[in-house]
Amino acid sequence: MSKVKPAKTYPDTIFGQKTPDEAQNLVNGPRFNTWYKGWFTRSEIYERMMPDGLTSALRIEGPDSGGAAIVMNSKGNIKLITGKRTDVAGSGTLDMNTQGSNQLHNGRTNIQYNEGGTEGDKQALNVLCYGDHIEQAMGSKRQIKASKIIITATEELVLEGQNISINAQGDLQMAASSFTTAQVNKKDIVIGQNMKFGAGEDTDLQFDPRASKVILSPGNVSHTIAGAYKIKSLRRMEVNAVAGLFMSTAATATLQGLAGMIVNGPGGMNLNAAKTTFKTADFDVTSAKTNFITADFDVNSSKIDFTALPGDVSLTGTSVKLKSRGEGKIYLN
């Protein structure tokens, strides 16, 4: 028989408590109510109520390792949250496969795309359409902003509009194998220089008989032609110079009028030449007064008539000789 006596007192705790027990106060924090929590994937559906008692949300979370979730809050918002992109192909994306889609947005829509995808291509949005792509801005403006905009059309590029404006702060460059424009009226405003370079042929065709071409310039007009320079008019042609008219050539100059030619100088006319030759079928000179001053004056003609109407004919010289060739006679009346 044991002779051990029981203790008179027994301890109430294992050790002495030095601090009070801690408790979680949910008055100033959100409250959660879990509806469902999966065993295999740790997926969860729960409600969340903020301390104000008004702001709440229903959150559906996918597998714990993915981080994807759907949130519907008391503001009427729906948030789709994907997980982070990892080294696994196709991770962290929002994929949709439908037979069509209808969307109606009754307010402003803000969409932001960040660069991603293949490293180095710097693509933020890539749209692929196997059909026509149509955008309409009803009674408003469609605006595209970028540091560089490239439009590539493999067959044809068409711009249609009531008015089309192209504004460039720097250079405006256009290159094509053929350039064709059609318009009723055309106006070019050039403040600086207007230069055409490398044109093999420059041709202006005007089909309206009332057409005209006018050049108005307060400055100078200069033409430098390495080849032949031809001007042809089927009607009348005029050249008027207020200060003076000078025509010069290093070779021979020819003035020809098939029906006739008139040289008119109301103020006078000077003919300066090393040698002057007149060859004509009929030569008439009508003048109020005609003076010939020459060192030697020869007139060779099959017939010469001197007639003064009315008046006298005078021949004055140191000696005056009248000589008849052959057996000809000299008549003095």
CA dist., res. 7 & res. 10, Å (int): 7
| Per-residue pLDDT, 150 | 94
CA dist., res. 330 & res. 323, Å (int): 8
Across all residues in the chain, what is the average pLDDT? 86
pLDDT digits (tens, 9 = 90+) for 108-144: 999 999 887 666 678 889 999 999 999 999 999 999 9
Residue 135: burial class (beta carbons within 10 Å; 0-12, 13-18, 19+): exposed
Residue 305 forms part of a structural domain: no
What are the b/e assignments for 74-96, b being 16+ CB within 10 Å? Answer: eeeeeeeeeeeeeeeeeeeeeee
Q: Which residues pair with 45 in a beta bridge?
A: 36, 60
pLDDT digits (tens, 9 = 90+) for 29-74: 788 999 999 989 999 999 999 988 899 999 999 998 889 999 999 9
Residue 73 forms part of a structural domain: yes
pLDDT average, residue stretch 5-10:
73
Residue 196 forms part of a structural domain: no
**pTM exceeds 0.95 for this model:** no
CA 32 to chain centre: 63
Domain that holds residue 37: 31-81
Residue 224 forms part of a structural domain: no
Residue 295 forms part of a structural domain: no
Residue 69 forms part of a structural domain: yes
Query: Which pair of tokens denotes residue 266?
Result: 């109301």
Residue 101 forms part of a structural domain: no
CA dist., res. 66 & res. 53, Å (int): 31
> Does residue 84 carry a pLDDT above 60?
yes
The structural domain count of the chain equals: 1
Neighbours of 61 (CB within 10 A): 20
> Does residue 1 carry a pLDDT above 60?
no
Residue 79 dihedral angles phi and psi, to the nearest 5°: -115, 130
Residue 293 forms part of a structural domain: no
pLDDT average, residue stretch 297-318:
80
